[in-house]
Chain A
Amino acid sequence: MNPLAAILLRDMRLAVRVGGGAFMGALFFLIVITMTPFAVGPDLALLARIGPAILWIGALLASLLALDRLFATDHDDGSLDLLMMGEVPLELTVAAKALAHWLTTGLPLVVVAPLLGLMLNVDMHALGWLTLTLAAGTPALTFIGLIGAALSVALRRGGLLLAVLVLPLTVPVLIFGVAAANAAIAGPTPFGPAFTILCALSLASLVLGPIAATAALRHGLE
């Protein structure tokens, strides 16, 4: 097993063990979406119209939830020092950690999204497209959030700071994610362009996130 696979496996294992916090995001997502119809009222047409936006906001907040622990636990127990001393470039180590984080917190959001979409009266045929936008967009949320997690690593209770740092950076993802979902549901604009830009944002963040996070970690520990 190579070092990166070892990190991936370890972080996924930690996430599903006691106190790991995997699926907490999905539960939070569930609660937020369940509360929405109570707040908005029994207007099915309105729910269907704002459904994609609510789902995206819920996914955004849920994916932020466990992010502050991404490096903080490794920092607190000294693992981060050893990870930085490995032969593996720190960028790849960080990317492997982020991937494990997405698999245990982002992917469950994507999986439950169709079910929650039904609760918001999203059209059956559009559920697939809506889920596709979340599948393409949530990696961007994790990998952008990675930067905030690295910046706030040494701070106690850095979670709030992290949200303030990260949320503005996710605005483009939110705009094009919701735009693509709405295009699939109501039109009249085509689904393709917005979805393509969303994919581009994700791919860019897959590359830039680990590099920026590594720079932040290196700087922060000195």
Chain B
Amino acid sequence: MTELQAEGLTCSRGGREVFRNVSFKVPAGAALIVTGRNGAGKSSLLRMIAGLVRIAAGRLSLNGGPAGTPIGEQAHYLSHQDAMKPSLTVAENLHFWMRFLGSRNDIRPALELLDLAPLADLPAAYLSAGQRRRLSVARIVAVSRPVWLLDEPTSTLDAPSQGRLSDIMRGHLAGGGIIVAAAHGPIGLERARELKLGAA
């Protein structure tokens, strides 16, 4: 059984300690909502799990995954930046990320799931913030990876899209996935555990 486990994580960035001694366990099929003030280290924690920020102290492991593979290679990271090129079309952007992440599937199902199919041939420069967000979600839906790291996933999304995203996240959990999300408000997942950073 897959399980994401953190013991005594400490993060320091630019010589300043952001958080210390953070521990949690997220088993397969469960979600962890990371909350806390601005600057409490929510995004840093997600980036640390993704392998993009060095672990100053502590241990982070994904049990039950393929041995020797960094967690970052088994995780999707949805940040505030959408990683989409304005001069490429919606389809080209998604196609690139799917091929880069090793998927040979068709891009259509993911586009249709996020209501982006009519925009497929539009350069991403013309998308609204919410549409760009949906395109990012299409990327993580299109390629299967067990751990999803979502940084305020519902921001910029309208109510119907938030509902759609909740369904997608529930589907991922039902399939044995793991979600770690940073959020200020509810993201539509019941029975998610909460980790409050900066409480001490």
B-contacting residues of A (Cβ < 8 Å)? 1-3, 5-7, 9-10, 13-14, 17-20, 73, 76-79, 81-88, 221-222
Contacting pair B99 A1 (CB below 8 A): yes
Nearest CB in chain B: distance from A93 CB, A: 8
Chain A hits for B157, CB < 8 A: none
Contacting pair B81 A77 (CB below 8 A): yes
Nearest CB in chain B: distance from A83 CB, A: 7
Q: Residue of A at shortest CB range from B98?
A: A6
Nearest 8 A-B pairs (CB), nearest first?
A: A78-B81, A6-B99, A17-B87, A78-B83, A85-B72, A79-B83, A222-B54, A10-B96
Contacting pair A77 B83 (CB below 8 A): yes
Can you give 24 A-B contacts (C-beta < 8 A)?
A2-B99, A3-B101, A6-B100, A7-B100, A10-B85, A14-B87, A19-B87, A73-B85, A77-B82, A78-B79, A78-B80, A78-B81, A78-B82, A79-B85, A81-B77, A81-B81, A82-B97, A82-B100, A84-B51, A86-B100, A86-B102, A87-B102, A88-B100, A222-B54
Chain A hits for B92, CB < 8 A: 10, 13
Chain B contact residues: over half helix, strand or loop, or mixed?
A: loop
Chain B hits for A2, CB < 8 A: 99
User: How distant is the Cα of A81 from the Cα of B79 in the complex, in angstroms?
Assistant: 9
User: How distant is the Cα of A175 from the Cα of B79 in the complex, in angstroms?
Assistant: 46
Q: Residue of B at shortest CB range from A221?
A: B52
Indicate whether B88 reaches chain A with its CB closer than 8 angstroms.
Answer: yes
Looking at B82, B85, B100, which has the most chain A CB atoms within 10 Å of its CB? B100
Q: Residue of B at shortest CB range from A82?
A: B83
Task: Knowing A14-B85, A14-B88, A17-B88, say if A81 contacts B99 (CB, 8 Å).
Answer: no
Nearest CB in chain A: distance from B48 CB, A: 10
Looking at A19, A76, A87, A88, which has the most chain B CB atoms within 10 Å of its CB? A87
Of B75, B81, B83, B99, which one neighbours A3 at CB under 8 angstroms? B99
User: How distant is the Cα of A213 from the Cα of B82 in the complex, in angstroms?
Assistant: 24
User: How distant is the Cα of A73 from the Cα of B87 in the complex, in angstroms?
Assistant: 12
Chain B hits for A73, CB < 8 A: 85
Contacting pair A77 B84 (CB below 8 A): yes
User: How distant is the Cα of A222 from the Cα of B77 in the complex, in angstroms?
Assistant: 16
Nearest CB in chain B: distance from A75 CB, A: 9
Chain A hits for B47, CB < 8 A: 81
Contacting pair B52 A85 (CB below 8 A): yes
Nearest CB in chain A: distance from B135 CB, A: 12
Indicate whether B53 reaches chain A with its CB closer than 8 angstroms.
Answer: yes
Chain A hits for B88, CB < 8 A: 10, 13-14, 17
Name B95-110 residues within 8 Å CB distance of A: 96-97, 99-102
Of B53, B75, B87, which one neighbours A18 at CB under 8 angstroms? B87
User: How distant is the Cα of A171 from the Cα of B57 in the complex, in angstroms?
Assistant: 43
Indicate whether B194 reaches chain A with its CB closer than 8 angstroms.
Answer: no
Indicate whether B30 reaches chain A with its CB closer than 8 angstroms.
Answer: no
Chain A hits for B102, CB < 8 A: 3, 86-87
Mask: chain B, 64-98; 1 = CB below 8 Å from A; 0 = not: 00000000110101011111110110001000110
